[in-house]
Amino acid sequence: MSLWGGRFSEPSAAEFKQFNDSLSFDYVLAAFDIQASKAWAQALLQAQLLSAEENQQLQTALGELAAAVAKNPQLPLQTQEEDIHSWVEAQLIEKIGATAKKLHTGRSRNDLVATDLRLFCKTFAQQLVSTNLAVVQALLQFAEQHQQTLLPGYTHLQRAQPIVAGHWALAYVNMLQRDVSRLREALKRLDVSPLGSGALAGTTASIDRQALAHELGFRAAAENSLDAVSDRDFALDLLNAAANGMLHLSRLAEDVIFYCSGESGCFSMSDKISSGSSLMPQKKNPDLFELLRGKTGRVLGHQHALQTTLKGLPLAYNKDMQEDKVGLFDALHTYQQCLAMTAFAIPELTVNVAHAEKQAAMGYSNATELADYLVSKGIPFRDAHHITGELVVKAQQLGLPLEQLPLAEFQAVNQLIADDVYPVLELRYGLNKRTALGGTAPAAVKIALKHAQDWLHAAEAASKHVRQARLSDVDKICELIAYWAEQGENLPRNKADIMQAIHGFAVAEIDDEVVGCAALYVYSTGLAEIRSLGLFPKAQGKGLGAELVAWLLWKARELGITRTIVLTRVPEFFGRLNFRLTVKEKLPEKVMKDCEICPKKHNCDEIALEYFL
């Protein structure tokens, strides 16, 4: 069914129809088109452009259609409609007749497709965040297992200095943390609803577009109708995030391929993620990782293609923009698949520990330690560097590693070198010295691992049920705090106080309903307290309390806070979250601020705990 036929006296040519139609790929937007249509019908009811009976007919029919699409996502492909919007309308007409034709009142395919695509991108970006976190989890397990395992580190693909394998894995954790951050930033920017912008100039219907946006789960409505229907920045944002993410997966893949090679042999792959040769029976090929590397070009190409499509388009909508979907869909699906395969593959990697340690010792990787040793003897570093180079040449000529070079040979180059040089040249000496933030010493890696695990817990919470509180949450937060104040677990707080402190609150949701809250209060010295933690009884036992605490600890770290405290009657709960006992006498700010107004001031039964970030 065509949505635009009245102007034309003859049908489109079959060749043009095939070239023009988009149902073959935009059918994946069916669920989102139905979601937008349900919200639009409700808005038309409120604008008195639909009767309650007509709205109910539409809501019922759309609900049935949504169920059918959920059961068979390819259902639209069984027809010859032009696009997903035509298909939805045709299905509604078949179900409820003329009432269905009223649904398109005041809207255009231009604002509808922009809305559908944003809803799709919101859903897919959240899935990408979750899959990234699964890769981070796999890498953290690898890092935890290999905090002490030596591995040769490289620059220019030449052996440089020894590292631990856990440090190597944490480097990729840092990359994926940035990928998650990019996706979340993209989610914030795309969280705007175009619906109600019409074809380009807005709608004549008396629609509350902000309420409509909230109904669809958007933060706000787009403020300019021209921009709303023609903006595809959000698609470029996601393609950029996917391209950067794929670059990181490709670099990881290249490292694994190299470490698994016969020339390195530091890693081994399980049979589950390997393939063989049709001719050479001895081969065990890293095809999975080669495909990760290869598919990166595909995603980069889609990013560039959309940039090229958009670069010269005038306002507002142009048919060129139909080309925004195929590449975007493929890029996001490819990125998602590659993330999932990486999460699957990392646990199937084994470090050949003894061999990797031997490899780490080769290539005179302790030369920097020798130079530092000379500096400790009072020699300027530039001279120490030159002397070390001479000694490396001498050792190479004798076919010996530096640590086996006789003392006489050392002293022939520089008399300040003594027997105490040999402990310095041991493989783990220099490694264990690199304890500064970001270093590869096992002690530094242990701290980095803890930080990364804390980040992961907070990120998982934020991607599931926890978010920053908004002013619209104040009444629910008041209700929660009042409930627990009656139980004697929290201090009461008035609504004005909560409104002023809303920026410090996080809330937990189940099915879009606020069921829990907690706040981060920052004292004047930079100490922070987690307070007002509470869940409605129906939400307890689901891990939401731990998610709220993890989210607030992440927020504290983002603010540069190094120590967070809590006063509680359930210390075992916070103990499981790695808080440790402290004494209340160390918390004068807390005592001065809140204890004076506490009804249990002279009979306090709260336990103090602290967490160092």
Q: How far apart, in whole angstroms, are the C-alpha atoms of residue 101 and residue 86?
A: 11
- The single-letter DSSP state of residue 607 is E
What whole-number distance in Å separates Cα of residue 596 and Cα of residue 258? 64
Four-CA torsion 191, 197, 203, 206, nearest 10 degrees: 10
Whole-Å CA distances, 503 to 249, 414, 500, 519, 611: 36, 63, 8, 9, 21
Angle between helices 109-145 and 165-190 (to 10 degrees): 160
* Contact (Cβ atoms closer than 8 angstroms) between residue 130 and residue 42: no
Q: In sequence order, what are the beta bridge partners of 457?
A: none
Q: 442-464 vs 109-145: helix axis angle to the nearest 10? A: 150
Rounded to an integer, what distance in angstroms lies between the CA atom of residue 167 and that of residue 146?
A: 8
- CA 213, chain centre distance (Å): 24
Lowest pLDDT segment from 79-93, 293-307, 430-444, 477-491: 477-491
Please name which of 597, 507, 611, 515 lies closest in space to residue 563, comparing C-alpha atoms.
Answer: 611
pLDDT at site 300: 98
Q: What tokens appear for 584 in the block?
A: 């209340």
Active site residues: 156, 277
pLDDT of residue 584: 79
The answer to whether 461 and 548 have CB atoms below 8 angstroms apart is yes
Q: What is the CA radius of gyration of the chain?
A: 31
| Fold (topology level) of 111-203+222-358 | Fumarase C; Chain A, domain 2 (1.20.200)
The pairing of beta strand 220-221 with beta strand 192-193: parallel
Q: In whole angstroms, what is the distance from residue 443 CA to residue 157 CA? A: 26
To the nearest 10 degrees (0 to 180), the angle between helices 381-398 and 367-376 is 130
Per residue in 402-450, pLDDT tens?
Answer: 999 999 999 999 999 999 999 999 999 999 999 999 999 999 999 999 9
Q: Where is pLDDT greater, at 135 or 587? A: 135
Top pLDDT among 281 and 408 is at 408
Q: CA-CA distances (angstroms) from residue 469 to 161, 321, 502, 551?
A: 47, 36, 6, 12
Top mean-pLDDT range of 8-17, 129-138, 461-470? 129-138
Residue 593: per-residue pLDDT:
57
Mean pLDDT, residues 1-30 taken together: 79
Phi, psi of 107 (to 5 degrees): -125, 170
Q: Rounded to whole angstroms, how far apart are CA atoms 432 and 423? A: 12
Question: Which pLDDT value is given to residue 604?
Answer: 64
Number of Cβ atoms within 10 Å of the Cβ of 2: 13
pLDDT of 603 higher than 80: no
Per-residue confidence (pLDDT) for residue 20, from 0 to 100? 83
**How much is the pLDDT for 190?**
96
Whether residue 165 has pLDDT greater than 60: yes
Tokens standing for residue 60: 């019922």
pLDDT band of residue 280 (cuts 50, 70, 90) is confident
Cα 409 from Cα 421, distance rounded (Å): 12
**CB environment 123-132: b (16+ within 10 A), e (fewer):** ebbeebbbbb
pLDDT of 526 over the 60 cut: yes
User: What does the pLDDT read at residue 492?
Assistant: 86
Residues in Cβ contact with 512 at an 8 Å cutoff, skipping those fewer than 6 apart: 217
Q: What is the mean pLDDT of residues 481-494?
A: 86
In the chain, the percentage of residues whose pLDDT exceeds 70 is: 95
Give percent of the chain above pLDDT 90: 80
* Section 142-154 average pLDDT: 97
The C-alpha atoms of residue 455 and residue 346 are separated, in whole angstroms, by: 20
pLDDT recorded at residue 520: 95
Residue 54 has what pLDDT? 97
What is the value of pTM for the model shown? Answer: 0.88
3-class DSSP state of 466: strand
Q: Which CATH architecture has domain 367-425?
A: Orthogonal Bundle (1.10)
Structure confidence by residue, pLDDT tens digits, 46-55: 999 999 999 9
Please count the other Cβ atoms lying within 10 Å of the Cβ belonging to residue 44.
24
* 597 band by pLDDT with thresholds 50, 70 and 90: low
pLDDT score recorded for residue 462: 83
From residue 605, alpha-carbon distances to 463, 584, 608 in Å are: 35, 11, 10
Nearest CA among 111, 269, 73, 268 for reference residue 197: 111
- Measured between alpha carbons, how far is 32 from 118 in angstroms, rounded to an integer? 9
Band of the pLDDT at 3, cuts 50, 70, 90? low
Beta strand segments in 483-595, E: 505-510, 513-522, 528-535, 563-568, 580-581
Length reported for the chain:
613
More confident position, 29 or 17 = 29
**Is 90 exceeded by the pLDDT of residue 583?**
no
Average pLDDT across the chain, whole number: 92
Q: Residue by residue, what is the 3-state secondary structure of 6-45?
A: HHCCCCCCHHHHHHHCCHHHHHHHHHHHHHHHHHHHHHHH
The domain locations on the chain are 5-105, 111-203+222-358, 367-425, 465-612
φ/ψ of 581, rounded to 5, equals -65, 145
Q: If one looks up domain 465-612 in CATH, what number appears?
A: 3.40.630.30
Domain 5-105 class? mainly alpha
Q: What is the mean predicted confidence (pLDDT) over 573-589?
A: 83
